Amino acid sequence: MSRIAYVNGTYRPHGEASVHIEDRGFQFADGVYEVWGVFDGRLADFDGHMTRLERSLTELAMALPMSRAALTLVLKETVRRNKVRDGLVYIQVTRGTARRDHVFPAPGTPPSVVVTARSVDRRAQLARAQKGVAVITRPDIRWGRCDIKTVGLLPNVLAKQAAREAGAAEAWLVDSDGLVTEGGSTNAWIVDEHGVLRTRDTGANILRGITRAAVMALAPEHQIRIEERAFSVDEARRAREAFFTAASAFVTPVISIDGQRVGDGKPGPVTRALAEAYLANASASAI
Ligand code: PLP
């Protein structure tokens, strides 16, 4: 089926959709993006992702490129035109096109807006998640504002490629204190040796994951004790369970870290309960 992309006001065949060579996203990674999971044609965790998009833009002194209502329509229309039932919808917003110069272009320069949607084989994805996946660890060499979801993802790209080459699904990034920050495109979690569910606090240099927030909200309903507290690679290796979260990965069990088995090498009960609860909740509340 032919894919359709929204670019600066028009829907175009994917292969013909383009932005200018002097787009600031291409020249400087001067832009942000956002991603929603799509369940049965509807967008999951809608408000959380939209609010984070607004925040990312504000932090870079950019405005939402159109009203929230208009943007919602564009996102849904892109999903509809691509006939996506289960999948993902992406938006990239950059500071627009201007003659190359580091400083911001003249006020009034229109931003570039790209929206794309793609289907995911949900059954294959869930089957993979049921078995659990491997992660490796890599040094976190990113900039100091990882709370902003910018298109500047080179360290993440390199870490994810290293994971791929090691036969792993994700790279967990480790700061100079030996503590895990997050994954290349996911938030990192463990159930520690005392049974406490732990993930890095948002005061650290991490993305405030929308799936992370949803899972945190679900934990008390399942009588799971949760702490936003950093963990070391060593603690992760000794953990009872581990997993990662993202709009593109839901709750994915981690069964090995740097080749060393986590727990009994199978997805654990806390992970499975949260994965099930997250999926039920996300699909029920999608709009
Ligand atoms: N951390 C990073 C670096 C990410 O890129 C992402 C998602 O793209 C996440 C965490 C997970 O965030 P969310 O749950 O909002 O998808």
Domains assigned to the chain: 4-120 (3.30.470.10), 125-285 (3.20.10.10)
Mutation test residue for ligand 1: of 47, 185, 210, the one with most atoms within 8 Å of CB: 185
Among protein residues, the one with the nearest Cα to ligand 1's atom 4 is 185
pLDDT tens digits, one per residue of 139-159:
999 999 999 999 999 999 999
Looking from the CA of residue 213, the nearest atom of ligand 1 is: 14
Q: Would you place residue 165 in the very low, low, confident or very high pLDDT band (cuts 50, 70, 90)? A: very high
pLDDT digits 0-9 by tens, 226-272? 999 999 999 999 999 999 999 999 999 999 999 999 999 999 999 99
Query: Which residues does a 6 A CB cutoff place in the pocket of ligand 1?
Result: 35, 156, 182, 185-187, 207, 209-212, 245-247
Atom of ligand 1 nearest to the CA of 156: 3
Using the mean position of ligand 1's atoms as its centre, give its distance from the Cα of residue 249 in Å.
9
CA of 135 to the centre of ligand 1 (A): 16
Model confidence over 179-206: pLDDT tens digits? Answer: 999 999 999 999 999 999 999 999 999 9
Q: Counting atoms of ligand 1 from 1, which one is nearest the CA of 182?
A: 1
**pLDDT for res 129:** 85
Closest residue (by CA) to atom 5 of ligand 1? 185
Q: 201, 207, 278: which to mutate for ligand 1, most atoms within 8 A of CB?
A: 207
108 Cα–ligand 1 center, Å? 31
Taking the centre of ligand 1 as the mean of its atom positions, its distance from the CA of residue 211, in whole angstroms, is: 8
Atom in ligand 1 nearest the alpha carbon of residue 247: 16
Residue 128 pLDDT level (bands cut at 50, 70, 90): confident
Q: Which residues are catalytic?
A: 149
* DSSP code string of the chain: ---EEEETTEEEEGGG----TTBHHHHH--EEEEEEEEETTEETTHHHHHHHHHHHHHHTT---SS-HHHHHHHHHHHHHHTT-SSEEEEEEEES-B-SS-SSPPPTTPPPEEEEEEEE--HHHHHHHHHH-EEEEEEE----S-TTS-BS--HHHHHHHHHHHHTT-SEEEEE-TTSBEEEESSSEEEEE-TTS-EEE--TTSSS---HHHHHHHHHGGGGT--EEE---BHHHHHH-SEEEEEETTTEEEEEEEETTEEPTTSS--HHHHHHHHHHHHHHHHH--
**pLDDT band, very low/low/confident/very high, at 101 (cuts 50, 70, 90):** very high
Tell how far the Cα of 244 is from the centroid of ligand 1, in angstroms. 10
Q: Among 19-28, 97-106, 125-134, 154-163, name the one with the lowest average pLDDT.
A: 125-134
The pLDDT-based confidence of 167 (bands split at 50, 70, 90) is: very high
The tens digit of pLDDT for each residue in 18-52 reads 999 999 999 999 999 999 999 999 999 999 999 99
Return the pLDDT at 168: 98
For atom 1 of ligand 1, the residue with the nearest CA is 186
| Prediction pTM value | 0.98
